[in-house]
Amino acid sequence: MNKNQYCVIMAGGAGERFWPISKGNHPKQFIDILEDGSTLIQHTYRRLSRIFLPENILVVINEQYLSLVYKQLPQIPRENILCEPARRNTAPCIAYACHKIAAKNPDAVFLVAPSDHVIINETDFLNTLQVAMDAVSQQEWLLTLGIQPSRPETGYGYIKFRETDPYPQDTRIQKVSTFTEKPNVEIAQQFLESGDYLWNAGIFIWSASSIIHALKEHLPEVNDLFKPEVIPYNTSKENAAIQQAYFKCRSISIDYGVMEKANNVYVLKSDFGWSDLGTWGSLFAFLPKNDTNNFVSGNNILTYDSENNLVKTPDNKLVVLQGLEGYVVVENDNILLICKKDEEKRLRDIINDVRLNKGGHYL
C-alpha cells in the first residue's frame, strides 16, 4: 500500500429513490439493502481497505449521520470523518476533502467514490483503480471511470471518448470528448450502437494538485471558501470554519462545475460489473428470486399468479399478492409503497407530493 494514495468515500446523500426503506435520517448507504448482512457503506469500506491504508480512507457525510458512521465503521478515526453541515452536491464535498488531504500530504493522489454502488468483480475493480492511481501520479489528468454499457440505459449519464494514445501503459485510458446527462431511450440506443460512449460511474481519480488547480480555474468561488488560508485544516478550529464555508457555498456538482469544462479530462474504460443502485428495479437485479422470479422479504407473504415482483414487508404483517406482475411492494414504518418497476421514475414526484400534502415526517 502506498502512503501517498488516499480514498474519499462520499456518503452524504439522502437516498430518496429507495423510499420508504431509505429515509432522511437513515438513508440507503447505511442500510443492508442487499440483505447479505452488511450495509452498502460497509461493503464500500471493506472493498477499498484492500488497497488503501486505513489512515488514508476518509468519509464525507452529512453531520446528522455521524452516529451511524461511528456504529457501522468503528475503525474510521474521527479526524477522517468529514461532516458537512448542509448538502451542497459533490463539488463542495470534493473541495473540502482535497484541501484537507493536501494540507496533510501535498503529494497525495486520491480516489473519490460514492458509498452506495455495487461492484461484482472486486478484483478487476481494484486492479483498475491501481492503474488509474499510477496514471494520475504521472500525468496531470482528471480521470474518471467509464463503464462499458450493456443496454440502452436511460438512468445513467454517458461519457463520449475519442481514440487517442495518451498512456501507452494502458490503452483503455482515452480522452473525454463530451459528457451527456441521462438520455431518452432512443438516444441511449444510439450511444450503445456507436461504441464510443460509456456509462458515467461518478468515480474520480486525480492528484490533489490537479483537482485543486481545476477548482481554482473553473470553480474559484467554491475553491476560495475551502482553501487553507480560510480553513485551518487538521486543527480544532476546522469545524467552525467549515460551518461558515458551507453557509456561503452554492450547490453544484463536480461534473457540471469542473469535469465538463476542463480540457485534461480522461476516462478509463472499465467492465467490472457495476451498478449505482439508483432504483428499486436496479436493486431487483442483484436480489435472489424464487421460482416465480419474485424477491420476497418477510415471513408472512403469500403470492398467487404473481411474478417478477420485489416484495419487502415486516415479518408481523400478512401480505397476499394475487395476479401482480412487475411491481415493487415495500412497507416500512407504516408506509406502504406499491408501484410498477418500469414506472418508478415517477417516485421523485410521488415523494414531492408526500412532502407537500402529507408532511415531511413521512420522509
CA distance 202 to 147: 10
Burial class (CB in 10 A: 0-12, 13-18, 19+), 115: buried
CA 95, 99, 100, 105 dihedral sign is: positive
Which run of H or E residues covers position 84? strand 81-84
**Gyration radius of the chain over CA positions:** 21
What's the confidence (pLDDT) of residue 165?
Answer: 79
The SS3 assignment for 197 reads strand
**Residue 285 CB neighbours (<10 A):** 11
Q: What confidence score (pLDDT) does residue 62 get?
A: 96
| 263 and 325 share one domain | no
**Residue 145: what pLDDT?**
97
List, in sequence order, every residue forming a beta bridge with 127; answer none if it has no partner: none
Q: 52 and 140: one domain?
A: yes
Instruction: Using the predicted structure, report yes or no on whether residue 313 has a pLDDT greater than 90.
Output: yes
Most confident of 16-20, 70-74, 147-151: 70-74
pLDDT digits (tens, 9 = 90+) for 33-49: 999 999 999 999 999 99
Residue at grid coordinates 504521472: 138
> In which region does residue 277 sit, left (phi positive, over 0), alpha (psi from -120 to 50) or beta (all else)?
left
> Domain with 148 in it: what CATH number?
3.90.550.10
Residue finishing a domain among 278, 307, 332: 278
Relative to beta strand 57-62, strand 335-340 is unpaired
Residue 143 pLDDT > 90: yes
Please tell me the predicted confidence (pLDDT) of residue 354: 95
Higher confidence at residue 166 or residue 66? 66
Is the domain of 130 the same as that of 242? Answer: yes
To 5 degrees, how large is the angle CA 280–CA 45–CA 5?
130
Please report, rounded to a whole number, the percentage of residues in the chain having pLDDT higher than 90: 90
| Residue finishing a domain among 278, 313, 331 | 278
Residue 14: pLDDT over 90: no
Residue 105's domain comprises 5-278
Q: Is the pLDDT of residue 15 over 90?
A: no
pLDDT digit string (tens) for 287-311? 999 999 999 999 999 999 999 999 9
Q: Is 51 helix (H, G, I), strand (E, B) or coil?
A: coil
| Residue 153 sits in the same domain as residue 248 | yes
Q: How many domains are contained in the chain? A: 2
| Claim to verify: residue 302 and residue 324 sit in the same structural domain | yes
121 contacts 273 by C-beta, under 8 angstroms: yes
Check: CB of residue 242 under 8 Å from CB of residue 257: no
Q: What pLDDT score was predicted for residue 79? A: 95
Whether residue 168 is found in the same domain as residue 56: yes
Domain boundary among 243, 278, 313: 278
Residues 274 and 289 in one domain: no
Residue 260 and residue 182 share a domain: yes
Residue 274 sits in the same domain as residue 285: no
The mean-pLDDT minimum among 57-66, 138-147, 255-264, 336-345 falls in 336-345
pLDDT band at 345 (very low <50, low <70, confident <90, very high): confident
Q: Can you list the pairs that 80-85 forms with residues at least 24 positions away whose Cβ atoms lie under 8 Å?
A: 80/55, 82/58, 83/239, 83/242, 84/12, 84/60, 84/242, 84/246, 85/242, 85/243, 85/246, 85/247
The continuous run of DSSP H or E covering 242 comes out as helix 238-248
The residue-averaged pLDDT of 329-342 equals: 94
pLDDT tens sequence across 86-110: 999 999 999 999 999 999 999 999 9
Q: What pLDDT, on the 0 to 100 scale, is given for residue 343?
A: 87
- What is the Cα–Cα distance from 350 to 328, expressed in whole angstroms? 14
Mean pLDDT in residue range 262-276: 95
- Which band of pLDDT confidence, cut at 50, 70 and 90, is reported for residue 163? confident
In this structure, the answer to whether residues 257 and 294 fall within a common structural domain is no
Mean pLDDT across the chain, nearest whole number?
Answer: 95
Please state, in angstroms and rounded to a whole number, the distance separating the CA atoms of residues 52 and 133. 11
Provide the phi-psi class of 187: left if phi over 0, else alpha when psi is between -120 and 50, else beta.
alpha
Instruction: Mark whether 241 and 294 lie in a shared domain.
Output: no
End-to-end CA distance of the chain: 41
Q: Note the pLDDT tens digit of each residue in 207-259.
A: 999 999 999 999 999 999 999 999 999 999 999 999 999 999 999 999 999 99
The residue length of the chain stands at: 363
